[in-house]
Chain A
C-alpha cells in the first residue's frame, strides 16, 4: 500500500480497478487547514486524465504492472500477435493498446509489453529501430526549391520526412519516441 507521502510524479497506482500514473502532484495546505495532496493522473489503459485531491491518512493500491519481453510475429484481423521470449506463449494485442508503435513493428522485433492483470496495455520498442524505405521520390540534382526534406514511406506503411539524399530501398534509423528520421544506415 502507498500513502499520500509516497505520491510523486511517475507513481503507478490502481484506482477503480484501472492502473493510473501520476503525471502532476502538488502539496497544498491552506492557512491553519489540513494538508491536501492534489494529483493529476492518467489512466494507463484509455489515457483519460483525472484530477483527485487526497488528505493525509489516505492510502492507495499500487498498480502491479509487469513488463515482459516478447517478439512481434504478425498482424491478423487488426490484432498484433506477439510471442513471449521465455514461456513461448502467444498473445494478440489490439490496435488501441499498440498505439503509434505499430508504425515501427517489423517481423521478429523485440518489444517490452506492459501487462496489467495479465492483460497487455502497452508496447514499447527500442528507442531506435532500422526500417527500409519502400517509396520516395528521387533527389533531383540542382533542385533550388530550398527544401531540406522529402516524404518517404517505410516498410510498415509509415510516412515520415527524410533528407533529400535518401533513396528507395535504403535502410534508415528512426527514433521511435518521436517518430522522426535519425540517420542513414550505411552498408
Chain B
C-alpha cells in the first residue's frame, strides 16, 4: 500500500480547509473577538439526553467547549471564540465523525438575533475564502448567500413540511423523525434557513422566549438541507438551569445511559453571566458545503477507520 493513498483526491480539500479556517479566525479577530483555548478533558459534561460522551480516565473528552467558555463569560470576557476538537460517542455517518471540529463563539449583552447576523457575515466570509462569490452549489442546486436569509419558526416548519403540528409531533414522540425525514431536506435550498424557536424541552440551555408560548430562543442554521449550527440566548438562571439538567438526567437514566454528577462550578458561575448568546458551529460540515462534497470523510485528513 502506498503511504497516504487514502488521501488521493483529498489534497485539494485539505488545502481549502486550511484557507477556510484561516478566514474564520481572521473574521473573529477583526471583529474584536478574543480567541480562547479551554481544556478538552473535563471532569463532567453538561447532562444532555441524547449526547454520549467519550470517557478519558475518570474524566471525559468534552462534547462541546461550552462549559468553560461560559465560565469565561462569567469572569468578564465579553466576546470570545474557539475552534477545537470535540468528541461524541457513537456518532458516525456521512455527516458525522465521533471526533470533529467545532467553532463556538459567545457575546455578552446580546441575544440570539445578533448571533444570526454573525452567521450571515461569517458564512459569506468563509465562502469568499474559497472564491465562491456568494453562491454555494449543493447536490446540483445553487444556494444564494446574499439577500435575505429565510427565517422560519419550528412551528411553521412542522405545518409547512411535516404535515402535523409541532405540538402533535411532540405528543406522539415523532418530533425527531419528522424533523429528519420531512423537514430538514427542505431547509436552506434557495437561501440559508434560520430555523428558530424550538420547543422548550428541545433547548436545555436556552432562555425561554418572552411572550413565546413554550418556546426557547434557540435557532439552527441550515444550508442545502444540511444542519450547520445550533445557537441560543443563554439561560443564566441557576435554579432553572439546575431543574432542566435534572430533566435531561432523568431521560438518560430512563434509557440506561451513563449519568454524571452535575457540573456544579458551571452552575455556580452561571449567575455571574450577563444576558448573552452563543453558538456551536460544525466546521467540517461548513467545509463540506463550501467544497460541495457529499461525505464528511472528504474534508478530514483521517477518519477513525483510517487510523
Q: Contact string, A49-67, partner B, CB cutoff 8 A, digits 1/0?
A: 0000100110000000000
Among A26, A27, A32, A33, find the residue whose CB has the most chain B CB atoms closer than 10 A.
Answer: A32
Q: Is B140 an interface residue (CB 8 A)?
A: no
Among A15-23, A34-42, A79-87, A141-149, the stretch in contact with B: A34-42
Q: Is A186 an interface residue (CB 8 A)?
A: no
Cα–Cα, bound, A56→B227 (Å): 20
B181 touches A31 (CB 8 A): no
A36 touches B203 (CB 8 A): no
Q: Which of A5, A32, A56, A57 contacts B203 (CB 8 A)?
A: A32
Q: Is A47 an interface residue (CB 8 A)?
A: no
Residues in chain A near residue B21, CB distance under 8 A: none
Q: Contact string, B64-102, partner A, CB cutoff 8 A, digits 1/0?
A: 000000000000000000000000001111111000000
Q: Which of B48, B51, B180 contacts A36 (CB 8 A)?
A: B180
Residues in chain A near residue B51, CB distance under 8 A: 32
Q: Is B202 an interface residue (CB 8 A)?
A: yes
B180 touches A53 (CB 8 A): yes
B177 touches A31 (CB 8 A): no
Residues in chain A near residue B289, CB distance under 8 A: none
Cα–Cα, bound, A30→B48 (Å): 14
Cα–Cα, bound, A57→B202 (Å): 21
Interface residues on chain B, number (Cβ under 8 Å): 26
Task: Name the residue of chain A whose CB is nearest to the CB of B184.
Answer: A30
Q: How far is the CB of A59 from chain B (nearest CB, A)?
A: 14
Cα–Cα, bound, A169→B284 (Å): 61
Task: Name the residue of chain A whose CB is nearest to the CB of B282.
Answer: A31
If A29-B50, A57-B255 touch, whether A35 touches B175 (CB-CB below 8 Å) is no
Q: Is B298 an interface residue (CB 8 A)?
A: no
Q: Is A28 an interface residue (CB 8 A)?
A: yes
Q: How far is the CB of A157 from chain B (nearest CB, A)?
A: 43
Residues in chain A near residue B230, CB distance under 8 A: 31-32
Task: Name the residue of chain A whose CB is nearest to the CB of B248.
Answer: A32
Task: Name the residue of chain B whose CB is nearest to the CB of A33.
Answer: B176
Cα–Cα, bound, A26→B90 (Å): 13
Among B93, B181, B204, B220, find the residue whose CB has the most chain A CB atoms closer than 10 A.
Answer: B93
If A26-B94, A27-B96 touch, whether A32 touches B184 (CB-CB below 8 Å) is no
A36 touches B94 (CB 8 A): no
Within 8 A of A (CB), among B219-241: 220, 227, 230
Q: How far is the CB of B173 from chain A (nearest CB, A)?
A: 10
Q: Is B49 an interface residue (CB 8 A)?
A: yes
Q: Is B179 an interface residue (CB 8 A)?
A: yes
Interface size range of chain A in the complex: 10 to 19
Among B50, B92, B220, find the residue whose CB has the most chain A CB atoms closer than 10 A.
Answer: B50
Residues in chain A near residue B202, CB distance under 8 A: 32-33
Q: Which of A31, A32, A35, A53 contacts B91 (CB 8 A)?
A: A35
Residues in chain B near residue A27, CB distance under 8 A: 91-96
A30 touches B180 (CB 8 A): yes
If A29-B91, A31-B220, A33-B175 touch, whether A38 touches B96 (CB-CB below 8 Å) is no
Residues in chain B near residue A26, CB distance under 8 A: 93-94
Residues in chain A near residue B198, CB distance under 8 A: 32
B181 touches A38 (CB 8 A): yes
Q: How far is the CB of A30 from chain B (nearest CB, A)?
A: 4
Residues in chain A near residue B96, CB distance under 8 A: 27, 29
Cα–Cα, bound, A26→B67 (Å): 31
If A5-B90, A57-B255 touch, whether A32 touches B204 (CB-CB below 8 Å) is yes
A36 touches B90 (CB 8 A): no
Task: Name the residue of chain B whose CB is nearest to the CB of A34.
Answer: B50
Cα–Cα, bound, A32→B198 (Å): 11
Task: Name the residue of chain A whose CB is nearest to the CB of B201.
Answer: A32
Within 8 A of A (CB), among B155-193: 175-177, 179-181, 184
Task: Name the residue of chain A whose CB is nearest to the CB of B92.
Answer: A27
Residues in chain A near residue B176, CB distance under 8 A: 30, 33-34, 36
Inter-chain pairs besides A33-B179, A36-B177, 12 sampled, C-beta below 8 Å: A26-B93, A28-B95, A29-B91, A29-B96, A30-B227, A31-B227, A31-B230, A32-B230, A33-B202, A35-B90, A53-B177, A56-B90
Interchain Cβ contacts under 8 Å between A and B, 18 examples: A26-B93, A26-B94, A27-B91, A27-B92, A27-B94, A27-B96, A28-B93, A30-B180, A31-B227, A32-B51, A32-B202, A33-B175, A33-B176, A33-B180, A35-B50, A35-B90, A38-B180, A53-B180
The 5 closest A-B CB pairs, nearest first, are: A27-B93, A33-B176, A30-B179, A31-B230, A34-B50
